[in-house]
Amino acid sequence: MKKVVDKFGKLVVASFIVMGVGLVTFMSTPIWWFRFGVDTDIPGFCILLAGVAICIVGLARRKKLSGVKLVALVVLASVLSIPMLFLIADLIYYLITGEELGW
């Protein structure tokens, strides 16, 4: 594992782990739905997008970009992080009221 971290960097390796968790969560939706009645496709997709955003940040830091390329990667990472805001808002609303927000 140390060789992989040295080769790709901590953020990129962490992003692949997060993307793996998101992909497993997204793909296991039928199991969770039929067994427990829990829909996990939206949280899984949001976790996957968060992993992609972390990977983009890790690549930008590792390559030491500047100028237009850096701004483009920051904007892309920001846009990919937007679905996480909806997930957090839904969780806060659920914890306060006990009901789903129902987008």
Tell me the pLDDT tens digit for each residue of 3-14: 888 888 888 889
What pLDDT score was predicted for residue 19?
Answer: 92
Report the distance separating Cα 43 and Cα 81, nearest Å.
13
Mean pLDDT of the region 23-35 = 91
Residues 72, 74, 80, 86: what is their CA dihedral angle, to the nearest 10 degrees?
-130
H helices present in 9-64, as ranges = 10-27, 29-36, 41-63
Higher pLDDT, 23 or 101: 23
pLDDT digits (tens, 9 = 90+) for 40-73: 888 888 888 888 888 888 888 887 777 888 888 8
pTM across the whole model = 0.73
CA-CA distance, 64 to 61, in Å (whole number)? 5
Between 8 and 31, residue with greater pLDDT: 31
Residue 21 scores a pLDDT above 90: yes
CA 53 and chain centroid, separation: 7
Higher pLDDT pick, 35 / 8:
35
pLDDT of residue 18: 92
Number of Cβ within a 10 Å radius of residue 77: 20
